[in-house]
């Protein structure tokens, strides 16, 4: 397992978080944890079972009238952790905001920017090129052999361009677009229309994102690191060059919106990254819609 250098630094900030993932999210319970909950004795076992919602689509943790997980206490802390320990969390609660994929011959992990603490770490880390083990120790990287396409090698080459400080960031970005992305990007009109068709965690973000399409694009020092994260997440799992180029095009699209949310809407870099990730990365339907539009533009 390989991870970016910021991955081992992540730790949930719990009650200090301004956008708790225990509020407003549908929290699915995996089958192994469900069996543990069903067998759990005592008052907490009863409380957990009372807080389950089961239907044909699976099992989730119940939300109250304010869309807070029923196990969230008045301080914003999880009663399951405080009473039983982290080992009793369901998989999604234990792993969020971590994600995993295969790149070339390597398994990789990352943290998603919809979490404000993850976004802070991603945007603060200057060294996005070095890969380490999940505990932060140096990692041994073995080149893949015999494969028709190696996304790990492709990303390494892209990062060499993106991190070349002898060039301005604008020139590096243009070279990434020319050499690694699909030939054509979406027009502003097409992007605005597409954004209007997507579903949102918070509907108030729709006009914000649509306005960002034509807003001034600020020079944001963190843009390079955000683009590197987006390439890592969306291009690395590619199984062929076309998929890789589409992932890079998606990364460039989101990075441009990031700069415009900072420049036009006045959001902080962390909040701009968190908003984009929440709405356009954490919905598979939204991400796939953007990928499909980019593919259709390049037919």
The pLDDT tens digits of the residues spanning 222-275 come to: 999 999 999 999 999 999 999 999 999 999 999 999 999 999 899 999 999 999
Query: In this structure, are residues 134 and 3 in contact, taking their beta carbons and an 8 Å threshold?
Result: yes
Residue 248 confidence (pLDDT): 98
Question: Does residue 290 fall inside a structural domain?
Answer: yes
Checking if the pLDDT of 144 tops 90, the result is: no
Looking at the chain, the number of H-run helices and the number of E-run strands are 13, 6
Checking if the pLDDT of 94 tops 80, the result is: yes
- Tell me which residue range forms the domain holding 242: 154-297
Question: Does residue 130 fall inside a structural domain?
Answer: no
Cα–Cα distance between 72 and 63 in angstroms, integer? 10
Reported confidence tier of residue 89, pLDDT bands at 50, 70, 90: very high
* Digit-coded pLDDT (tens) for 10-19: 999 988 999 9
Instruction: Looking at the structure, tell me whether residues 173 and 285 fall in a common domain.
Output: yes
Question: Does residue 128 fall inside a structural domain?
Answer: no
> Which residue, among 189, 245, 252, 201, has the nearest Cα to 226 in the 3D structure?
252
Mean pLDDT of 269-290: 96
Instruction: Looking at the structure, tell me whether residues 88 and 162 fall in a common domain.
Output: no
Instruction: Looking at the structure, tell me whether residues 169 and 77 fall in a common domain.
Output: no
Instruction: Looking at the structure, tell me whether residues 185 and 271 fall in a common domain.
Output: yes
Residue 194 confidence (pLDDT): 98
Query: In this structure, are residues 105 and 152 in contact, taking their beta carbons and an 8 Å threshold?
Result: yes
Question: Does residue 14 fall inside a structural domain?
Answer: no
Q: Across-strand partners of 224?
A: none
Instruction: Looking at the structure, tell me whether residues 182 and 288 fall in a common domain.
Output: yes
**Phi, psi (deg, nearest 5) at residue 2:** -115, 145
Question: Does residue 246 fall inside a structural domain?
Answer: yes
Instruction: Looking at the structure, tell me whether residues 179 and 75 fall in a common domain.
Output: no
Reported confidence tier of residue 79, pLDDT bands at 50, 70, 90: very high
Reported confidence tier of residue 67, pLDDT bands at 50, 70, 90: very high
Tell which of 77, 95, 113 closes a domain. 95
C-beta neighbour count of 77 within 10 angstroms: 15
Tell which of 58, 77, 95 closes a domain. 95
* Digit-coded pLDDT (tens) for 176-225: 999 999 999 999 999 999 999 999 999 999 999 999 999 988 899 999 99
Instruction: Looking at the structure, tell me whether residues 158 and 83 fall in a common domain.
Output: no
Instruction: Looking at the structure, tell me whether residues 185 and 289 fall in a common domain.
Output: yes
* Digit-coded pLDDT (tens) for 12-47: 998 899 999 999 988 999 999 999 999 999 999 999
Question: Does residue 263 fall inside a structural domain?
Answer: yes
Q: How many domains does the chain have?
A: 2
Residue 215 confidence (pLDDT): 94
Instruction: Looking at the structure, tell me whether residues 236 and 159 fall in a common domain.
Output: yes
In the structure encoding, which two tokens stand for residue 230, read together?
Answer: 């987006």
Return mean pLDDT, the chain. Answer: 95
Instruction: Looking at the structure, tell me whether residues 54 and 169 fall in a common domain.
Output: no
Tell which of 51, 74, 95 closes a domain. 95
Question: Does residue 232 fall inside a structural domain?
Answer: yes
Instruction: Looking at the structure, tell me whether residues 58 and 161 fall in a common domain.
Output: no
Does the pTM of the predicted model rise above 0.85? yes
Residue 142 confidence (pLDDT): 84
Question: Does residue 116 fall inside a structural domain?
Answer: no
């Amino acid at each position: 397992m390989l991870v970016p250098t910021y991955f081992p630094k992540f730790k949930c900030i719990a009650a200090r978080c301004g956008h708790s993932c225990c509020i407003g999210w549908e929290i699915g319970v995996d089958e192994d944890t469900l069996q543990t909950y069903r067998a759990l004795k005592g008052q907490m076992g009863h409380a957990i079972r009372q807080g389950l919602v089961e239907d044909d689509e699976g099992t989730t943790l119940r939300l109250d009238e304010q869309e807070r997980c029923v196990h969230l206490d008045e301080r914003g802390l999880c009663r399951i952790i405080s009473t039983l320990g982290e080992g009793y969390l369901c998989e999604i609660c234990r792993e969020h905001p971590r994600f995993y994929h295969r790149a070339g011959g390597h398994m990789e992990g990352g943290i998603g920017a919809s979490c404000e603490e993850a976004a802070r770490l991603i945007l603060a880390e200057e060294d996005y090129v070095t890969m380490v083990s999940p505990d932060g120790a140096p990692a041994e990287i073995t080149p893949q052999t015999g494969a028709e396409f190696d996304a790990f090698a492709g990303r390494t080459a892209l990062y060499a361009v993106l991190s070349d400080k002898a060039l301005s960031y604008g020139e590096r970005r243009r070279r990434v677009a020319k050499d690694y992305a699909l030939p054509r990007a979406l027009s502003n009109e097409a992007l605005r229309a597409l954004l209007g068709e997507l579903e949102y965690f918070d509907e108030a973000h729709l006009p914000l994102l649509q306005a960002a399409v034509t807003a001034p694009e600020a020079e944001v020092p963190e843009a390079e690191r955000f683009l590197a994260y987006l390439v890592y997440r969306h291009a690395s799992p590619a199984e062929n060059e076309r998929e890789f180029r589409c992932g890079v095009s998606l990364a460039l699209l989101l990075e441009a919106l990031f700069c415009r949310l900072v420049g036009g809407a006045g959001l902080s870099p962390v909040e701009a990254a968190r908003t984009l990730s929440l709405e356009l990365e954490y919905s598979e339907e939204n991400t796939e819609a953007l990928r499909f539009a980019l593919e259709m533009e390049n037919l």
